Chains A and B, each alone.
Chain A
Amino acid sequence: MKVVQSRRKQPRLSRRALLSGLGASAALSPFIPLLEAEGQEARPQRLILWFTPHGTVYDNWKPSGGETDFTLSPILKPLEPYRAKLNILDGLKVNADGVGAPHTKGPPLLWTASPLSNDMTFTRADGSGGMYFGWNSAPSVDQVILNELKPTTPYKSLEFGVRSGSSFPGTRMIYSGAAAPLAPETNPWAAFKRLIGDIGKTTDQLTQIKAERTSVLDLLGSELTSLQGKVSSADKQKIDAHLAAVREIETRLSGSNIACQGPVLGDEVDSNKSSNTPLVMDAMTSLMAASLSCGLTDFASMQYRVGENDGGYLYDWLGITDLEHHLMTHEPDTNLTARAELTKIYSWYAEMFGKFLGKLDAIPEGNGTLLDNSLVVWGSEIGKGNTHSFDKVPFVVAGGAAGKLKTGRYLQYAGVEHNRLLVSVAQLMGMSELQSFGSTDKNTGNLAGFS
């Protein structure tokens, strides 16, 4: 019963037709409220934040031509099928003043546009010279938006990652608040089981699981509540966060069942192994697309690798086995071999991004596709490796935000802070009043010419 057909081979049907036509192969999860209300066709737009590390090779990334008659660069070439649905944003910069090394502060800065806290969380008190820094000082844009919009989806947001490292500023980009990183799920098979893994269970079984989980959560809630009064105020924040997560799960449980089609992930492989990366990425993006189309969430993110120095990490599936990616980015521009190999890596990034866009674009929704109703924002933690420059950070936005955003454009800027892009994103997602985002620049307004 678990096996369902690949979405891409489905004939194009409306979402309702798809769901009602699943019959015996439908996944019935008790943990997801019924979203498919009678007569409802339009879906809310989604926001997906997409990260790949270590900037790009700018000359090979930059498209040529004008706003609408542009030609994609060697690196962005794999996005050709979705050219009409893109906004390629050239010349945005990240204001990176503040504590932390570039690869460390880059991932937190990317979506928060706020610096790391200037505290001693991650360093020693022995004064031997190490620069110190703490967790990030503010939430990321997706979390700010969803806190404002209060989506009724089962999951406020879902964080996905591929080889996303241990928990440390250089490896965490999504924050629900100051010093509150949200860990990404890095094993697609585990995530599948959790999110849509109750396929094939009978109604009685589901009812029982639901009752059982409810009673356990009730107990955990009591325990956490009783702890709130017994710990220090600093520790209470941790208990509060845990309790909030328990309450969220309870809310999901109290919803109705939903029919939903799961993706086919293929056999499980070790998600931590470098050479499995393409397989794991493919499985994870299939799951992401399914999570969005099933209405599990409207906010998702993909963190591929880490900003922190990824020593020992090779692109063996691209035939690059001599030098780690991070080190390769340090090579001077005159090292043509390194540039060629880096271009290959960044082009593979675009290929992965394109495959994900393809999955979203294959899901019909209303008069268009899920991609058309989404905003997929791709960025990196720096612009250029050998200078660690935060200028010309490569940003690509895909999807039309349900018709609110013009697409098929190549937009050039002369060093505009990326805060403006995040303001645009928030506005497009429904926070129309918002005029500034993050604390790294004092200007206001959205990204001129973009939204």
Chain B
Amino acid sequence: MTAARTAIAGLGLVLFISCTGQVKGGGSTADVTTNPALTPGAAGAGAGGSVTAPPGEQPLDCSKPQVAFSALRRLTREQYDNSVRDLLGSSGQPSLGLAADEKLAAFFSNSVSPVSRLSVEQYRDAAEALAAAAVAEQLDALTGCAGANQNAACAAQFIQAFGRRAIRRPLSSDEAARYQALYDANQTRGFAEGIRVVLQALLQSPNFLYHLELTPAPGGVGVTALGGYEVASRLSFALWNSLPDAELLDAAAAGLLDAKDGLQAQAERLLQSDRAKDALASFHVQWLGLDALLDLDKDPQLFPEFSDKLKGAMRDEAVSFADFVIRRGDGRLQTLLSAPFTLASPELLGLYGATAAPAADGSVQLDPLQRAGLLTQAGFLAAHAHANQTSPVHRGLAIRKNLLCTDLPDPPANVNNNPPAPDPNATTRQRFEQHRTNPSCAACHQMMDPIGIGFENYDAIGRYRTTENNLPIDASGEVLNAGATSGTFTGAVELAKRLSTSPEVRACVQKQWFRFSLGRFEGPEDACTLAGLSADFAAADFDVKKLLLSLVTSDAFRYRKAEP
């Protein structure tokens, strides 16, 4: 692992130096992006084979489970909200009172730094408020008992049943006894009070707040199969972004998740449920960088219509569209990135100038010369633009990072890497010319700007335009150093179509789903899983739903690496 990291560091440095225009030593940007050893998933190996190892390391033997270490994670704020909703039937966003999540690359995961002192108190405050409201509003429904039946026996039963849902496994007898004691100490003020305090404790329990995976490995360390309940939990958080339902826990109890086919059957059931929309929403919002959209401001002089409502509509569009394609449509990545239809609010359809009537399924056809899938939706275009102008750099960078998984080094600290000020007599392309003509800028900006400039037909809030400052827009662009995706194109629709069938994008999307579902970066030991995903994704004609099924039944998903 150390050798691989050193090699990677070296390559990063090469790119960085090249960006400042002082390329030294062997290596170019092309070497970086075409080196198959550095592109997991592209290495290619079927189940039972081996995959290319980083230099100096043994090839991985994929005939036995291989998996990198998963650090202990806390629930994200979304997972907290969804879990509370599913447990208590309540609505709202109690997580607004919790400290912000830790973010790794595109996704929140809370996997590295320990919980803050503040967070522990915030969990308490949220738990106290939720428990009080639940008991006041729906004690009977929550406990399944009414009137005289609200007694010690009912409480004991509640602790077992509700506790199992909350901590995603049955309580041990010790654990049950602790909650029982808590109930006993507080029921002197009445049944409801006892239940309220039990609820309060369960919602602050580390077994609720963390994704704990404790099934011991034989011998204490090494690759080991997760327990059935642990698989259930991973599965429901991956596909629902929430905790398991009773049926999934029962399947775990019956041992049905220990084998791939049983796991697959449950995964298919979860994907059919509308609750899968929560996970798809979470993935796409983060993947496309839409999480900042709601807090984003635009110049109110130029974009008075950029209201909270419109921002919300933009986010909702991406979410509804992704859910529609993946769960109710053909599921294909190609459709996600190139479909000429959408599901959007009237305000947003107005922004698009759409005139077609909605189809029976709610979808609306857009002008196929103007719109093609997620990347030409207003949310992506507005999120990656400035307050008063577009941003070829940010749009290009988002494609590079999130769609092609090629991260670029940071810009040199001492350059004015600002967008040139809007000029009433020039187009954005003209203003950004320096990034191309100045060699010290071009080394890095050639990776971004020629992609981003292809989006110039969309203004800073995603409205289609053919002129800028009364000058015609030239939306011709080029993808450089990106394998089969490389080449010139004209306009975002053509670019989107290319990306929608790009092998580099497919490999990247697999990785993004891996990171989202497991809450961590892929490690060297995950190469077998990524190779398997690659094969399955291709065999399924790049159906994202099938990719998810492959992912949740992969070794990386079913096993963990126990460390001392």
Contact = CB atoms under 8 A, between A and B. Distances in A.
A242 interface: yes
Interface string A96-130: 00000110100000000000000011111111111
B409 A129 contact: yes
B104 A122 contact: yes
Interface string B1-32: 00011011101101110000000000001001
B97 A215 contact: no
A171 B113 CA distance: 13
B522 A125 contact: yes
B100 A164 contact: yes
A234 B416 contact: no
A213 B185 CA distance: 12
Contacts of A324: 386-387
A320 to B, nearest CB: 10
A216 B32 CA distance: 54
Interface stretch (B34-42, B147-155, B341-349): B34-42
Contacts of A323: 386-388
A128 B72 contact: no
Contacts of A387: 413-414
Given A127-B32, A130-B409, A312-B292, A135 B206 contact: no
Given A132-B9, A167-B113, A193 B125 contact: yes
B410 to A, nearest CB: 4
A322 interface: yes
B260 interface: no
Contacts of A124: 105, 405, 407, 521
Nearest to A172: B113
B387 A131 contact: no
A100 to B, nearest CB: 8
B524 interface: yes
Contact of B97 (A190, A241, A248, A389): A190
A182 interface: yes
A164 B101 CA distance: 12
A190 B189 CA distance: 28
Contacts of A327: 386, 418-419
B284 to A, nearest CB: 18
Contacts, number: 247
A159 B99 CA distance: 11
Nearest to B68: A125
A245 B123 CA distance: 12
Interface stretch (A40-48, A224-232, A345-353, A398-406): A224-232
Interface string A218-247: 011011101100111111011111101110
A375 B90 CA distance: 46
A181 interface: yes
Given A127-B7, A223-B205, A331-B418, A187 B97 contact: yes
A432 interface: no
Contact of A311 (B113, B117, B386): B386
Given A131-B16, A132-B9, A216-B204, A166 B101 contact: yes
Contact of B175 (A167, A223, A245, A386): A223
Interface string B112-142: 1111111111101100000000000000000
Contacts of A389: 413-414
A131 B410 contact: yes
A180 interface: yes
B48 interface: no
Nearest to B300: A321
A129 B406 contact: yes
B324 to A, nearest CB: 28
B102 A166 contact: yes
Interface in A328-345: 330-332, 335
B124 A213 contact: yes
B179 interface: yes
A6 interface: no
B297 interface: yes
B336 to A, nearest CB: 22
A181 B101 CA distance: 12
A227 B212 contact: yes
Given A167-B103, A185-B118, A223-B205, A126 B413 contact: no
Nearest to B204: A220
A179 B407 contact: no
A344 to B, nearest CB: 16
Interface string A47-64: 000000000000000000
29 contacts: A125-B522, A125-B523, A125-B524, A126-B511, A127-B8, A128-B32, A128-B405, A129-B11, A129-B407, A129-B409, A135-B112, A164-B100, A183-B116, A208-B189, A212-B197, A212-B200, A215-B186, A216-B200, A216-B201, A216-B204, A223-B175, A237-B114, A245-B121, A248-B117, A312-B297, A312-B387, A316-B300, A324-B387, A389-B413
Interface of A: 101-102, 104, 120-132, 134-135, 156, 159, 164-168, 171, 176, 179-187, 190, 193-194, 208, 212-213, 215-216, 219-220, 222-224, 226-227, 230-235, 237-242, 244-246, 248-249, 272-274, 311-314, 316, 321-324, 327, 330-332, 335, 386-389
Given A224-B206, A389-B413, 19 more contacts: A101-B411, A120-B5, A127-B12, A128-B32, A156-B117, A164-B100, A182-B117, A183-B119, A216-B204, A220-B205, A222-B178, A223-B206, A232-B562, A235-B71, A248-B117, A314-B299, A322-B387, A323-B386, A327-B386
Q: 4 closest Cβ contacts across the A-B interface?
A: A130-B407, A241-B114, A183-B99, A129-B15
